[in-house]
Amino acid sequence: MQDRGWWLGAALSGALMVMAGAFGAHALEGQLAPRLAAAFETGVRYQAWHTLALLAVLAWRSTTPRAGQRQAMGLWAAGMVLFSGSLYAMTLTGATGLGMVTPIGGVLMIGGWLALAVAVLRARS
């Protein structure tokens, strides 16, 4: 199977996202300041959207492999780890210094979308 590791990573990201969402909604309910609860929810939401984006690009790659697709997926994966991961860790540990990592993850996610745009433009030509 082409891109087996990517499919596995997307599946595990989806599972982690559902677990994090359930944990945030149930175990953390009423335990966090509203700002921290919102940060945790933002991490889950961004992980969800980028996991779905990974799956969409993987489906596209299965029929039409293009240069730039893996770059987009790699940037999204790294962005999810840094963005969502730092929000989860900051919320659960109180280590506010991790907040410096979050924007780096966001920039990586944006880079993934731009890499996808380039891949799409190249696919048209």
> Quick one: average pLDDT of 7-35?
95
| Sequence ranges of the domains in the chain | 4-124
In tens, the pLDDT along 33-85 reads: 999 999 999 999 999 999 999 999 999 999 999 999 999 999 999 999 999 99
Task: Please give the pLDDT value at position 96.
Answer: 86
Residue 72 and residue 57 in contact, taking contact as beta carbons nearer than 8 Å: yes
- Per-residue model confidence (pLDDT) at position 125: 58
CA distances to 18, 36, 52, 54 from 115, in Å: 27, 31, 16, 13
pTM: 0.94
pLDDT over 70 percentage in the chain: 98
Q: Rounded to whole angstroms, how far apart are CA atoms 14 and 48? A: 7
Q: Is 52 helix (H, G, I), strand (E, B) or coil?
A: helix
Give the pLDDT score at 100: 94
